[in-house]
Amino acid sequence: MKGRTFLAAWALVALIAAGCGSSSSSSSSAAASASSGSGGTANTNCKASVAIEGPFTGPVAQVGLEQLHFAQLAVANDNKSLGIHVTLNQDDTQLTPSIATQKTQAIIASPAVAVIGPSGSQEVEAVGPLLGRAGIAAVTGSATLPALASSGANKTFFRVVPDDNVQGPQDANYIVNHLHPKGVLIVDDDEAYSQGITKVMIPIMQKAGIKVDHETINGTDTGATLNNAISSLVTSHLNSNTQVAVLPWQAAANAQQFGLDAQQQHKKVILFGTDGTNSPSQFHIPGTYISTFGPDISESKNAETKALASQVTKYGPYGAFGVPTYAATDAIMKAIASVCKSGGTPSRSNVLAAVKKTNIPAASNILGVPIAFTTTGNLVGSPGYLFHVNSGGKYIEIPPK
């Protein structure tokens, strides 16, 4: 988040007491919310319940827990600064559409007035229509498939990150203009997000005269099956004509395995990951590029942002997924507060109406960009971030142009 200013007032005292654990309780039992504390007396007439859907267990639990911790911090901070009392319920989807459907049905049957998430595009495809029919606003910090907004199927869907029609061309053009490969291997992991961004990138690279080898791997495979599939890809599809391998995967550990296999087979290739591969503790092959929709706040010089980074570090390593989820949560919290300020009692309908009117200045949110939504739920504006992994395995932010 270099060069960005974040001026919102943070209330980070005693946040551990605000329920920042990593348990994955269902939406029927609310996590403890922060007390009003010294930041102002909570408005006892302004009470609401919200839910977060994310992969808190399973192969991408590290990403889901990062999102959960940032959401919990946002709820705690906003309860204090806005003088409201909102509880956060946790619904573990494991990034699986069928599980997300079950969790969403439970949320619909609960008092929740809004949803943070779901995390994955494939999950939104499955549950977006359900949330729409129930009139529940769902603000995601990570689902980027363009059709989620453009199809008209998800009437209450919003996102605080750019979609693949922004990120895909940006990544493809960077590869064309800066890496200058003769050949590219791009491997989707057979799910909505990966297939969507792959579809956007391929024509741009082909138009530039680059030979593109498009392959598919089953991203839900595990163990020996997954290892054999990755090893086979490296053996059969990396050669002297392939200088770049694009991995738009949701599991960073799988991308790391691909890179290690390439090294073991003495295959020289530049890896280029997107979004889900952004995990400094799991994917750190030197020379790799990783694009993402969220900034790195670990190197921020801003005092408030540094304080947040310090708090989150207590719960383990984190990448760029938590920051947009914080912003998504903040948008919902501010919508609830605006309903109460106008004299209303938070409900699904009036919170949805307030979310549609979201207008948070760049200087007042952690993303450092204006947060407002188009009529289809897309973010107004198109931020993007790119990192290069140095020889020590550290992520270094570079201009994504």
pLDDT of residue 3: 34
For residues 116-145, give the mean pLDDT.
96
Domain 15-162+300-372: give its CATH superfamily.
Response regulator (3.40.50.2300)
- Indicate if 164-292 has the same CATH topology as 15-162+300-372: yes
What confidence score (pLDDT) does residue 44 get? 59
Burial class (CB in 10 A: 0-12, 13-18, 19+), 26: middle
Which residues touch 169 (CB under 8 Å, ≥6 apart)?
Answer: 200, 201, 204
Establish whether the linkage from the previous residue to 118 is cis, with ω within 30° of 0.
yes
CA 350 to chain CA centroid, Å, is: 26
pLDDT score recorded for residue 366: 82
What pLDDT is attached to residue 234?
96
| Dihedral in degrees, nearest 10, Cα atoms 180, 183, 187, 193 | 40
Q: What is the pTM of this model?
A: 0.76
Q: Where does 212-321 have alpha helices with state H?
A: 223-237, 252-264, 303-313
The residue with greater pLDDT, 279 or 111, is 111
Residue in this structure with the two tokens 């992994």, named with its chain if needed: 389
What share of the chain in percent tops pLDDT 90? 67
For 47-63, how does the pLDDT look when each residue is reduced to its tens digit (9 = 90+)?
999 999 999 999 889 88
How do residues 337-396 score in pLDDT, each as one tens digit? 999 999 999 999 999 999 999 999 988 888 878 999 999 999 997 767 899 999 999 999
Q: Are 238 and 270 in contact (CB under 8 A)?
A: no
Beta strands of 118-190 (E only): which ranges?
137-140, 157-159, 183-188
pLDDT of residue 317: 64
Give the mean pLDDT of 145-152.
Answer: 94
Q: What are phi and psi of 29, to 5 degrees?
A: -130, 120
Q: Which residue has the higher pLDDT, 42 or 43?
A: 43
Please give the Cα distance from 75 to 21 (Å, whole number).
13
What whole-number distance in Å separates Cα of residue 190 and Cα of residue 69? Answer: 28
Cβ contacts of 313 within 8 Å, gap of 6 or more: none
Domain ranges of the chain: 15-162+300-372, 164-292
Would you say 288 and 273 are in contact if contact means Cβ atoms under 8 Å apart? Answer: yes
The verdict on domain 164-292 having CATH code 3.40.50.2300 is yes
pLDDT in tens, 3-23: 333 333 333 333 333 333 433
